Chain A
Amino acid sequence: MRIELDRPRCEGHGLCEEAAPSLMHLDDEGELVIDRADVGESEAALAHAAVRVCPVAALRIA
Protein backbone atom coordinates (compact mmCIF):
# COMPACT_ATOMS: atom_id res chain seq x y z
CA MET A 1 0.00 0.00 0.00
CA ARG A 2 1.06 3.58 -0.65
CA ILE A 3 0.47 6.75 1.38
CA GLU A 4 -0.43 9.72 -0.81
CA LEU A 5 -0.36 13.35 0.27
CA ASP A 6 -2.50 16.05 -1.33
CA ARG A 7 0.22 18.65 -0.86
CA PRO A 8 -1.85 21.84 -1.42
CA ARG A 9 -4.37 20.65 1.11
CA CYS A 10 -1.82 19.86 3.85
CA GLU A 11 -1.66 22.68 6.39
CA GLY A 12 1.03 21.22 8.61
CA HIS A 13 -1.12 20.29 11.61
CA GLY A 14 1.29 17.44 12.25
CA LEU A 15 -1.26 15.09 13.78
CA CYS A 16 -0.22 12.45 11.25
CA GLU A 17 3.35 12.59 12.53
CA GLU A 18 2.14 12.03 16.08
CA ALA A 19 0.23 8.96 14.89
CA ALA A 20 3.01 7.52 12.72
CA PRO A 21 6.40 9.12 13.48
CA SER A 22 8.20 6.28 11.73
CA LEU A 23 6.53 7.10 8.42
CA MET A 24 6.45 10.92 8.25
CA HIS A 25 7.64 14.11 9.92
CA LEU A 26 7.33 17.88 9.72
CA ASP A 27 10.61 19.43 8.64
CA ASP A 28 12.15 22.58 10.11
CA GLU A 29 9.96 24.70 7.85
CA GLY A 30 6.83 22.95 9.04
CA GLU A 31 6.41 21.11 5.72
CA LEU A 32 5.34 17.51 5.89
CA VAL A 33 7.84 14.97 4.61
CA ILE A 34 6.66 11.44 3.98
CA ASP A 35 9.69 9.37 4.84
CA ARG A 36 8.26 6.13 3.62
CA ALA A 37 5.27 6.19 1.31
CA ASP A 38 5.29 2.49 0.48
CA VAL A 39 4.39 0.58 3.57
CA GLY A 40 4.10 -3.12 4.19
CA GLU A 41 1.64 -5.22 6.11
CA SER A 42 3.37 -4.63 9.45
CA GLU A 43 2.87 -0.88 9.30
CA ALA A 44 -0.52 -0.80 7.65
CA ALA A 45 -2.23 0.06 10.93
CA LEU A 46 0.10 3.01 11.49
CA ALA A 47 -0.49 4.30 7.97
CA HIS A 48 -4.26 4.06 8.41
CA ALA A 49 -4.03 5.85 11.76
CA ALA A 50 -2.11 8.73 10.17
CA VAL A 51 -4.66 9.05 7.36
CA ARG A 52 -7.48 8.97 9.84
CA VAL A 53 -6.24 11.77 12.12
CA CYS A 54 -5.50 14.31 9.40
CA PRO A 55 -8.12 16.97 10.19
CA VAL A 56 -8.33 18.23 6.63
CA ALA A 57 -8.26 14.86 4.85
CA ALA A 58 -4.98 15.58 3.05
CA LEU A 59 -3.68 12.00 3.27
CA ARG A 60 -5.00 8.88 1.67
CA ILE A 61 -4.04 5.30 1.08
CA ALA A 62 -3.82 4.29 -2.56
Chain B
Amino acid sequence: MWRRSRSLEGMTHPPTSDLDLFSDEVLTDPYPSYADLRALGPVVHLPANEVYALTRYDAIRAALGGWETFSSAHGVGFNPTVNEALMGTSLASDPPQHTALRAALTENLSPRALRGLKSQIDAKADALVADLVASGSFEAIDALARALPLEIVADLVGFTGEVRGRMLAWGKAANQVIGPLNQRTAESFPIAGELYQWCSTVSKADLAEGSIGRGIFEAEERGAIPPGAAGPIIHQYLAAGVENTVSAIGNIVALFASHPDQLALVRKDPSLVPAAFNEVLRFWAPINAWGRETTRDVEIEGVVIPAGARVAILFGSGNRDPLHYDDPDTFRVERNPVDHLSLGYGVHGCAGQGLARLEAHAVIDALARRVERLVVGTPTRIPHNVTRSVHALPVLEVVTA
Protein backbone atom coordinates (compact mmCIF):
# COMPACT_ATOMS: atom_id res chain seq x y z
CA MET B 1 0.00 0.00 0.00
CA TRP B 2 2.71 2.51 0.91
CA ARG B 3 4.29 2.11 -2.49
CA ARG B 4 1.08 2.85 -4.22
CA SER B 5 0.19 5.91 -2.20
CA ARG B 6 3.70 7.29 -2.53
CA SER B 7 3.82 6.88 -6.27
CA LEU B 8 0.33 8.24 -6.66
CA GLU B 9 1.06 11.34 -4.65
CA GLY B 10 -0.27 14.35 -6.48
CA MET B 11 -1.68 12.11 -9.17
CA THR B 12 -5.31 11.29 -9.67
CA HIS B 13 -6.85 7.89 -9.30
CA PRO B 14 -8.91 6.92 -12.38
CA PRO B 15 -12.70 7.15 -12.14
CA THR B 16 -14.42 4.05 -10.81
CA SER B 17 -17.46 2.18 -12.09
CA ASP B 18 -19.38 -0.70 -10.54
CA LEU B 19 -19.85 -2.33 -13.95
CA ASP B 20 -19.11 -6.06 -14.16
CA LEU B 21 -17.47 -6.64 -17.55
CA PHE B 22 -18.27 -10.37 -17.32
CA SER B 23 -21.98 -10.23 -16.56
CA ASP B 24 -24.28 -11.91 -19.11
CA GLU B 25 -25.82 -8.62 -20.26
CA VAL B 26 -22.52 -6.85 -20.82
CA LEU B 27 -20.99 -9.83 -22.62
CA THR B 28 -23.83 -10.16 -25.09
CA ASP B 29 -24.49 -6.44 -25.61
CA PRO B 30 -21.42 -4.53 -24.44
CA TYR B 31 -21.73 -1.38 -26.51
CA PRO B 32 -24.04 0.68 -24.27
CA SER B 33 -21.82 -0.10 -21.27
CA TYR B 34 -18.71 0.78 -23.26
CA ALA B 35 -20.21 4.17 -24.09
CA ASP B 36 -20.78 4.79 -20.37
CA LEU B 37 -17.21 3.81 -19.54
CA ARG B 38 -15.73 5.97 -22.33
CA ALA B 39 -17.68 8.93 -21.02
CA LEU B 40 -15.94 8.48 -17.64
CA GLY B 41 -12.47 8.60 -19.19
CA PRO B 42 -9.82 6.64 -21.10
CA VAL B 43 -9.10 4.54 -17.99
CA VAL B 44 -11.80 3.31 -15.61
CA HIS B 45 -11.16 1.29 -12.48
CA LEU B 46 -13.58 -1.65 -12.17
CA PRO B 47 -13.37 -3.03 -8.61
CA ALA B 48 -15.86 -5.80 -9.45
CA ASN B 49 -13.31 -7.31 -11.82
CA GLU B 50 -10.16 -5.96 -10.12
CA VAL B 51 -9.03 -4.40 -13.38
CA TYR B 52 -8.32 -1.04 -14.92
CA ALA B 53 -10.24 -0.92 -18.20
CA LEU B 54 -8.87 0.97 -21.21
CA THR B 55 -11.88 2.40 -22.96
CA ARG B 56 -10.80 4.90 -25.63
CA TYR B 57 -9.06 4.33 -28.93
CA ASP B 58 -5.85 6.26 -28.28
CA ALA B 59 -5.23 4.67 -24.90
CA ILE B 60 -5.79 1.16 -26.28
CA ARG B 61 -3.61 1.63 -29.33
CA ALA B 62 -0.82 3.10 -27.17
CA ALA B 63 -1.05 0.19 -24.72
CA LEU B 64 -0.92 -2.39 -27.53
CA GLY B 65 2.10 -0.58 -28.96
CA GLY B 66 3.82 -0.26 -25.58
CA TRP B 67 4.65 -3.77 -24.37
CA GLU B 68 7.41 -2.44 -22.10
CA THR B 69 4.71 -0.88 -19.91
CA PHE B 70 1.71 -3.06 -20.74
CA SER B 71 3.31 -6.45 -20.37
CA SER B 72 1.99 -9.86 -21.42
CA ALA B 73 4.68 -11.76 -19.50
CA HIS B 74 2.33 -12.56 -16.61
CA GLY B 75 -0.41 -13.67 -18.96
CA VAL B 76 -3.28 -12.08 -20.83
CA GLY B 77 -6.09 -13.66 -18.82
CA PHE B 78 -8.15 -12.58 -15.84
CA ASN B 79 -7.36 -15.39 -13.40
CA PRO B 80 -4.06 -16.75 -12.08
CA THR B 81 -4.67 -20.34 -13.17
CA VAL B 82 -4.99 -19.51 -16.84
CA ASN B 83 -2.07 -17.11 -16.72
CA GLU B 84 0.05 -19.91 -15.29
CA ALA B 85 -1.17 -22.28 -18.00
CA LEU B 86 -0.37 -19.79 -20.76
CA MET B 87 3.31 -19.60 -19.81
CA GLY B 88 5.49 -20.54 -22.75
CA THR B 89 3.13 -19.25 -25.41
CA SER B 90 3.88 -16.17 -27.49
CA LEU B 91 0.71 -14.62 -26.11
CA ALA B 92 2.09 -14.68 -22.57
CA SER B 93 5.55 -13.34 -23.26
CA ASP B 94 7.33 -10.08 -24.00
CA PRO B 95 10.35 -9.49 -26.23
CA PRO B 96 12.97 -10.90 -26.39
CA GLN B 97 11.36 -14.30 -25.56
CA HIS B 98 8.37 -13.35 -27.65
CA THR B 99 10.45 -12.53 -30.69
CA ALA B 100 11.66 -16.10 -31.26
CA LEU B 101 8.24 -17.64 -30.59
CA ARG B 102 6.59 -15.18 -32.93
CA ALA B 103 9.10 -15.85 -35.69
CA ALA B 104 8.29 -19.56 -35.46
CA LEU B 105 4.56 -18.84 -35.52
CA THR B 106 4.68 -16.58 -38.52
CA GLU B 107 7.21 -18.50 -40.56
CA ASN B 108 4.27 -20.68 -41.58
CA LEU B 109 1.42 -18.26 -41.09
CA SER B 110 2.53 -15.01 -42.71
CA PRO B 111 0.88 -13.81 -45.91
CA ARG B 112 4.08 -14.88 -47.65
CA ALA B 113 3.68 -18.44 -46.42
CA LEU B 114 -0.03 -18.49 -47.21
CA ARG B 115 0.16 -17.13 -50.74
CA GLY B 116 -0.40 -20.52 -52.32
CA LEU B 117 -3.61 -21.01 -50.35
CA LYS B 118 -5.71 -18.18 -51.68
CA SER B 119 -7.18 -19.98 -54.67
CA GLN B 120 -8.03 -23.06 -52.55
CA ILE B 121 -9.75 -20.98 -49.89
CA ASP B 122 -11.64 -18.94 -52.48
CA ALA B 123 -12.84 -22.14 -54.14
CA LYS B 124 -13.93 -23.72 -50.83
CA ALA B 125 -15.82 -20.63 -49.72
CA ASP B 126 -17.49 -20.19 -53.08
CA ALA B 127 -18.61 -23.83 -53.28
CA LEU B 128 -19.98 -23.69 -49.75
CA VAL B 129 -21.87 -20.44 -50.34
CA ALA B 130 -23.18 -21.69 -53.69
CA ASP B 131 -24.60 -24.84 -52.03
CA LEU B 132 -26.23 -22.90 -49.23
CA VAL B 133 -27.75 -20.36 -51.59
CA ALA B 134 -29.13 -23.17 -53.72
CA SER B 135 -30.66 -24.82 -50.64
CA GLY B 136 -32.64 -21.63 -49.98
CA SER B 137 -32.63 -21.82 -46.17
CA PHE B 138 -29.93 -22.84 -43.71
CA GLU B 139 -28.45 -22.16 -40.28
CA ALA B 140 -25.67 -19.72 -41.15
CA ILE B 141 -23.41 -20.23 -38.15
CA ASP B 142 -23.13 -24.02 -38.31
CA ALA B 143 -23.28 -24.37 -42.06
CA LEU B 144 -20.94 -21.52 -42.98
CA ALA B 145 -19.28 -19.63 -40.11
CA ARG B 146 -18.17 -22.80 -38.28
CA ALA B 147 -17.76 -25.10 -41.25
CA LEU B 148 -15.27 -23.07 -43.26
CA PRO B 149 -12.63 -22.11 -40.64
CA LEU B 150 -12.80 -25.57 -39.08
CA GLU B 151 -11.96 -27.26 -42.32
CA ILE B 152 -9.33 -24.72 -43.32
CA VAL B 153 -7.49 -24.59 -39.99
CA ALA B 154 -7.71 -28.35 -39.49
CA ASP B 155 -6.17 -29.01 -42.89
CA LEU B 156 -3.57 -26.31 -42.51
CA VAL B 157 -2.31 -27.35 -39.09
CA GLY B 158 -2.61 -30.99 -40.03
CA PHE B 159 -5.20 -32.15 -37.49
CA THR B 160 -6.57 -35.54 -38.29
CA GLY B 161 -9.04 -38.02 -36.86
CA GLU B 162 -10.99 -37.38 -33.70
CA VAL B 163 -9.11 -34.18 -32.87
CA ARG B 164 -10.98 -32.45 -35.69
CA GLY B 165 -14.25 -33.15 -33.91
CA ARG B 166 -12.99 -31.56 -30.68
CA MET B 167 -11.51 -28.39 -32.18
CA LEU B 168 -14.53 -26.14 -31.71
CA ALA B 169 -15.24 -27.17 -28.14
CA TRP B 170 -11.55 -26.94 -27.22
CA GLY B 171 -11.17 -23.52 -28.80
CA LYS B 172 -14.24 -22.17 -27.06
CA ALA B 173 -13.14 -23.50 -23.68
CA ALA B 174 -9.57 -22.24 -24.10
CA ASN B 175 -10.93 -18.73 -24.62
CA GLN B 176 -13.59 -19.04 -21.94
CA VAL B 177 -11.00 -19.69 -19.23
CA ILE B 178 -9.24 -16.40 -20.05
CA GLY B 179 -12.07 -14.83 -18.04
CA PRO B 180 -12.30 -14.40 -14.26
CA LEU B 181 -13.01 -17.38 -12.00
CA ASN B 182 -16.75 -17.42 -12.63
CA GLN B 183 -18.98 -20.38 -13.38
CA ARG B 184 -18.29 -20.27 -17.12
CA THR B 185 -14.57 -20.50 -16.42
CA ALA B 186 -15.00 -23.29 -13.88
CA GLU B 187 -17.08 -25.36 -16.30
CA SER B 188 -14.59 -24.82 -19.11
CA PHE B 189 -11.35 -25.69 -17.30
CA PRO B 190 -11.81 -29.45 -17.73
CA ILE B 191 -12.36 -29.07 -21.48
CA ALA B 192 -9.53 -26.57 -21.85
CA GLY B 193 -7.46 -29.08 -19.86
CA GLU B 194 -8.08 -31.75 -22.49
CA LEU B 195 -6.61 -29.38 -25.05
CA TYR B 196 -3.56 -28.60 -22.87
CA GLN B 197 -3.12 -32.31 -22.30
CA TRP B 198 -3.35 -33.12 -25.97
CA CYS B 199 -0.95 -30.31 -26.90
CA SER B 200 1.60 -31.45 -24.35
CA THR B 201 1.71 -34.94 -25.83
CA VAL B 202 1.18 -34.25 -29.52
CA SER B 203 4.13 -35.10 -31.73
CA LYS B 204 5.14 -34.52 -35.29
CA ALA B 205 3.74 -37.88 -36.33
CA ASP B 206 0.24 -36.92 -35.18
CA LEU B 207 0.06 -34.12 -37.72
CA ALA B 208 -0.42 -34.50 -41.43
CA GLU B 209 2.59 -34.47 -43.74
CA GLY B 210 3.46 -31.05 -45.16
CA SER B 211 1.21 -29.24 -42.68
CA ILE B 212 2.05 -26.09 -40.76
CA GLY B 213 1.80 -28.08 -37.54
CA ARG B 214 4.63 -30.31 -38.68
CA GLY B 215 6.60 -27.24 -39.68
CA ILE B 216 6.48 -26.06 -36.05
CA PHE B 217 7.91 -29.36 -34.82
CA GLU B 218 10.61 -29.15 -37.47
CA ALA B 219 11.46 -25.65 -36.22
CA GLU B 220 11.85 -27.14 -32.74
CA GLU B 221 14.13 -29.89 -34.07
CA ARG B 222 16.28 -27.29 -35.86
CA GLY B 223 16.56 -25.29 -32.66
CA ALA B 224 14.79 -22.29 -34.20
CA ILE B 225 12.42 -22.31 -31.20
CA PRO B 226 13.18 -23.54 -27.67
CA PRO B 227 12.69 -27.22 -26.79
CA GLY B 228 9.09 -27.86 -25.82
CA ALA B 229 7.80 -24.71 -27.55
CA ALA B 230 6.00 -26.53 -30.36
CA GLY B 231 3.12 -27.84 -28.21
CA PRO B 232 2.12 -24.40 -26.89
CA ILE B 233 2.21 -22.99 -30.42
CA ILE B 234 -0.11 -25.72 -31.70
CA HIS B 235 -2.30 -24.83 -28.74
CA GLN B 236 -2.47 -21.24 -29.92
CA TYR B 237 -3.40 -22.21 -33.44
CA LEU B 238 -6.30 -24.19 -32.08
CA ALA B 239 -7.40 -21.68 -29.49
CA ALA B 240 -6.96 -18.56 -31.63
CA GLY B 241 -7.34 -19.85 -35.15
CA VAL B 242 -10.88 -21.13 -35.15
CA GLU B 243 -13.17 -19.41 -32.69
CA ASN B 244 -12.41 -15.81 -33.67
CA THR B 245 -12.70 -16.56 -37.35
CA VAL B 246 -16.01 -18.34 -36.74
CA SER B 247 -17.16 -15.23 -34.94
CA ALA B 248 -15.99 -12.91 -37.71
CA ILE B 249 -17.65 -14.92 -40.48
CA GLY B 250 -20.90 -15.18 -38.50
CA ASN B 251 -20.76 -11.42 -38.05
CA ILE B 252 -20.32 -10.92 -41.79
CA VAL B 253 -23.51 -12.85 -42.50
CA ALA B 254 -25.49 -11.22 -39.68
CA LEU B 255 -24.42 -7.68 -40.55
CA PHE B 256 -25.05 -8.06 -44.27
CA ALA B 257 -28.45 -9.58 -43.52
CA SER B 258 -29.40 -6.57 -41.42
CA HIS B 259 -27.76 -4.03 -43.78
CA PRO B 260 -28.79 -5.02 -47.34
CA ASP B 261 -27.86 -1.52 -48.54
CA GLN B 262 -24.26 -2.17 -47.45
CA LEU B 263 -24.22 -5.53 -49.23
CA ALA B 264 -25.48 -3.71 -52.34
CA LEU B 265 -22.47 -1.37 -52.20
CA VAL B 266 -20.06 -4.32 -52.16
CA ARG B 267 -22.03 -5.96 -54.97
CA LYS B 268 -21.65 -2.85 -57.07
CA ASP B 269 -17.96 -2.43 -56.26
CA PRO B 270 -16.19 -5.69 -55.32
CA SER B 271 -13.01 -3.76 -54.56
CA LEU B 272 -14.78 -2.89 -51.29
CA VAL B 273 -14.38 -6.45 -49.97
CA PRO B 274 -11.32 -5.73 -47.76
CA ALA B 275 -12.89 -2.47 -46.54
CA ALA B 276 -16.09 -4.32 -45.69
CA PHE B 277 -14.17 -6.85 -43.60
CA ASN B 278 -12.37 -4.07 -41.73
CA GLU B 279 -15.73 -2.50 -40.96
CA VAL B 280 -17.24 -5.83 -39.80
CA LEU B 281 -14.28 -6.26 -37.43
CA ARG B 282 -14.54 -2.69 -36.19
CA PHE B 283 -18.29 -2.79 -35.69
CA TRP B 284 -18.45 -6.09 -33.79
CA ALA B 285 -15.13 -7.02 -32.23
CA PRO B 286 -14.79 -10.83 -31.93
CA ILE B 287 -12.85 -10.38 -28.68
CA ASN B 288 -14.44 -8.24 -25.97
CA ALA B 289 -11.66 -8.00 -23.39
CA TRP B 290 -8.02 -9.06 -23.17
CA GLY B 291 -5.46 -8.63 -20.40
CA ARG B 292 -2.12 -6.98 -19.74
CA GLU B 293 -0.18 -6.08 -16.58
CA THR B 294 1.49 -2.75 -15.91
CA THR B 295 5.22 -2.86 -15.23
CA ARG B 296 5.27 0.62 -13.65
CA ASP B 297 2.94 3.38 -12.57
CA VAL B 298 1.62 4.75 -15.82
CA GLU B 299 -0.10 8.04 -16.40
CA ILE B 300 -2.80 8.34 -19.04
CA GLU B 301 -4.33 11.76 -19.55
CA GLY B 302 -3.76 12.80 -15.96
CA VAL B 303 -4.81 9.61 -14.17
CA VAL B 304 -2.50 6.85 -12.98
CA ILE B 305 -2.68 3.07 -13.24
CA PRO B 306 -0.43 1.66 -10.50
CA ALA B 307 2.41 -0.74 -11.25
CA GLY B 308 1.45 -4.42 -11.21
CA ALA B 309 -2.22 -3.78 -12.03
CA ARG B 310 -4.29 -6.01 -14.30
CA VAL B 311 -5.49 -4.06 -17.32
CA ALA B 312 -8.50 -4.97 -19.47
CA ILE B 313 -8.18 -3.89 -23.08
CA LEU B 314 -11.65 -3.33 -24.51
CA PHE B 315 -11.06 -3.63 -28.26
CA GLY B 316 -14.72 -3.08 -29.10
CA SER B 317 -14.93 0.06 -27.00
CA GLY B 318 -11.95 1.64 -28.76
CA ASN B 319 -13.54 0.72 -32.09
CA ARG B 320 -16.62 2.77 -31.18
CA ASP B 321 -14.77 5.79 -29.82
CA PRO B 322 -16.33 8.92 -31.35
CA LEU B 323 -13.06 10.77 -30.71
CA HIS B 324 -11.51 8.50 -33.31
CA TYR B 325 -14.29 7.37 -35.68
CA ASP B 326 -16.94 9.61 -37.08
CA ASP B 327 -20.47 8.29 -36.40
CA PRO B 328 -19.00 5.12 -34.84
CA ASP B 329 -22.28 3.30 -34.18
CA THR B 330 -23.16 3.15 -37.87
CA PHE B 331 -22.07 0.19 -40.03
CA ARG B 332 -20.63 1.61 -43.25
CA VAL B 333 -18.54 -0.57 -45.56
CA GLU B 334 -17.07 2.45 -47.33
CA ARG B 335 -15.44 3.70 -44.13
CA ASN B 336 -12.51 1.26 -44.46
CA PRO B 337 -11.22 1.56 -40.88
CA VAL B 338 -7.78 0.01 -41.55
CA ASP B 339 -6.63 0.94 -38.05
CA HIS B 340 -9.42 -0.84 -36.11
CA LEU B 341 -8.31 -2.62 -32.94
CA SER B 342 -9.99 -6.02 -33.27
CA LEU B 343 -6.81 -7.81 -34.38
CA GLY B 344 -4.67 -6.10 -31.78
CA TYR B 345 -1.60 -4.10 -32.78
CA GLY B 346 2.18 -4.13 -32.36
CA VAL B 347 4.32 -7.09 -31.29
CA HIS B 348 1.31 -9.31 -30.48
CA GLY B 349 -0.81 -8.05 -33.39
CA CYS B 350 -2.75 -11.09 -34.59
CA ALA B 351 -0.35 -13.59 -36.09
CA GLY B 352 -3.14 -15.24 -38.04
CA GLN B 353 -4.61 -12.13 -39.61
CA GLY B 354 -3.39 -13.09 -43.09
CA LEU B 355 -5.36 -16.31 -42.84
CA ALA B 356 -8.37 -14.60 -41.28
CA ARG B 357 -8.41 -12.13 -44.19
CA LEU B 358 -8.16 -14.87 -46.80
CA GLU B 359 -11.16 -16.66 -45.29
CA ALA B 360 -13.29 -13.61 -44.65
CA HIS B 361 -12.59 -11.96 -48.00
CA ALA B 362 -13.51 -15.20 -49.75
CA VAL B 363 -16.83 -15.36 -47.88
CA ILE B 364 -17.71 -11.71 -48.50
CA ASP B 365 -16.79 -12.01 -52.15
CA ALA B 366 -18.91 -15.16 -52.62
CA LEU B 367 -21.90 -13.65 -50.80
CA ALA B 368 -21.67 -10.43 -52.80
CA ARG B 369 -21.61 -12.30 -56.09
CA ARG B 370 -24.41 -14.72 -55.25
CA VAL B 371 -26.77 -12.99 -52.87
CA GLU B 372 -28.88 -9.88 -53.15
CA ARG B 373 -30.59 -10.16 -49.79
CA LEU B 374 -30.85 -12.61 -46.89
CA VAL B 375 -34.10 -12.91 -44.99
CA VAL B 376 -33.15 -14.09 -41.50
CA GLY B 377 -34.83 -15.06 -38.25
CA THR B 378 -33.76 -13.79 -34.85
CA PRO B 379 -30.06 -14.33 -34.13
CA THR B 380 -29.20 -15.78 -30.71
CA ARG B 381 -26.15 -15.20 -28.55
CA ILE B 382 -24.71 -17.14 -25.63
CA PRO B 383 -22.58 -15.15 -23.19
CA HIS B 384 -18.89 -16.03 -23.38
CA ASN B 385 -16.20 -14.57 -21.09
CA VAL B 386 -14.01 -13.03 -23.78
CA THR B 387 -15.33 -13.71 -27.26
CA ARG B 388 -18.57 -12.40 -28.69
CA SER B 389 -20.31 -14.11 -31.55
CA VAL B 390 -23.68 -15.00 -32.97
CA HIS B 391 -24.57 -18.49 -31.75
CA ALA B 392 -27.30 -19.27 -34.29
CA LEU B 393 -28.69 -17.38 -37.26
CA PRO B 394 -31.46 -19.00 -39.28
CA VAL B 395 -31.52 -17.87 -42.90
CA LEU B 396 -35.13 -18.27 -43.97
CA GLU B 397 -34.87 -17.14 -47.57
CA VAL B 398 -32.15 -16.14 -50.00
CA VAL B 399 -32.93 -13.55 -52.62
CA THR B 400 -30.36 -14.50 -55.23
CA ALA B 401 -28.42 -12.17 -57.42
Contact = CB atoms under 8 A, between A and B. Distances in A.
Contacts of A8: 99, 103
Interface of A: 8-9, 11-15, 18-19, 29-31, 52-53, 55-57
Given A15-B338, A52-B339, A57 B349 contact: yes
B338 A30 contact: no
B106 A11 contact: yes
B69 to A, nearest CB: 15
B346 A11 contact: no
Contacts of A15: 338
Nearest to B107: A11
B335 interface: no
Given A11-B354, A53-B339, A29 B112 contact: yes
B268 interface: no
A55 B349 contact: yes
A30 B111 contact: yes
B353 interface: yes
Interface string B330-359: 000000001100011111011101100000
B346 A13 contact: no
Interface in B292-321: none
B164 interface: no
Interface of A is mostly: loop
A11 to B, nearest CB: 4
B166 interface: no
B347 A13 contact: no
Given A57-B65, A57-B346, 7 more contacts: A8-B99, A11-B111, A11-B351, A53-B338, A53-B339, A55-B345, A56-B345
A19 B338 contact: yes
B93 to A, nearest CB: 15
B110 A11 contact: yes
Contacts of A31: 112
A1 B36 CA distance: 41
B230 to A, nearest CB: 20
Contact of A30 (B99, B112, B350): B112
A57 B106 contact: no
A28 to B, nearest CB: 10
Nearest to A30: B112
A55 B61 CA distance: 11
B112 A57 contact: no
Interface string B94-106: 0000010001001
A27 to B, nearest CB: 10
9 contacts: A11-B351, A12-B354, A13-B110, A14-B111, A15-B338, A19-B338, A53-B338, A55-B343, A57-B347
Interface-central residue, A9, A55, A56, by most chain B CB under 10 Å: A56
A18 B376 CA distance: 35
A55 B350 contact: yes
Nearest to A57: B346
B259 interface: no
A56 B349 CA distance: 5
A9 B95 CA distance: 12
A9 B354 CA distance: 15
Contact of B112 (A12, A18, A52): A12
B324 interface: no
B72 to A, nearest CB: 15
Contact of B111 (A9, A13, A57): A13
B98 to A, nearest CB: 11
Contacts of B346: 56-57
Nearest to B344: A55
B115 interface: yes
B110 A57 contact: no
Given A8-B103, A13-B111, A55 B353 contact: yes
Contacts of B344: 55
A29 B112 CA distance: 7
